[in-house]
Amino acid sequence: MKFLIENWYLVLSALVSGGLLLWTSMRGKAGGVPTAEAVRLVNREKGVLVDVSEPEEFAAAHAKGARNVPLSTLTGTDLPAKQLPGNKALPVVLMCKTGARAQRAAGILQKQGYANAVAVQGGLTAWREASLPVESSAA
């Protein structure tokens, strides 16, 4: 006890650093996954890449191989079964232009039983910055 009182600053710094480590590790998962992890999930874990942008945005630009399931279609009781994997254990990697809608979609899908639904941090913008393939379906 005497040690703790005499070295209160060491105890305080240990508690603060531990708290910061815990906060950053929890925040990292809540904020989605980086593009490299998204690619790994799709390539090695048989994850499904889903763009939750509206059809016009999706047609303008989207990650190569992504399926378009607009966020508005996820809020109802009937999920678009053909576009989402039947196996709810597979990773569902969600993206939109910035990642904000994808984050909301991840929460919705997790409540629907897709435990491995994650958003890509930074969305399509980060995808492009990482020089990953983007395509357009606009004529």
Q: What SS3 state is found at 85?
A: coil
Whole-structure pTM value: 0.75
Q: What SS3 state is found at 44?
A: helix
- Torsion-angle region of 79 (φ positive above 0: left; ψ -120 to 50: alpha; else: beta): beta
pLDDT grade, residue 30 (50/70/90)? Answer: low
Question: Does residue 13 carry a pLDDT above 90?
Answer: no
Question: Does residue 22 carry a pLDDT above 90?
Answer: no
Q: What is the pLDDT of residues 37-77, one digit of tens each?
A: 999 999 999 999 999 999 999 999 999 999 999 998 887 66
Q: Between 36 and 74, whose confidence is greater? A: 36
96 annotated active-site: yes
79-117 per-residue burial string, b: 16 or more CB within 10 A, e: under 16: beeeebbeeeebbbbbbbbebebbbbbbebbeeeebebb
Q: How far apart are CA 123 and CA 19, in angstroms?
A: 28
Q: How far apart are CA 92 and CA 106, in angstroms?
A: 8
Q: What is the pLDDT of residues 68-95, one digit of tens each?
A: 999 988 876 666 667 888 899 999 999 9
Q: Which of 95, 96, 106, 119 is catalytic?
A: 96
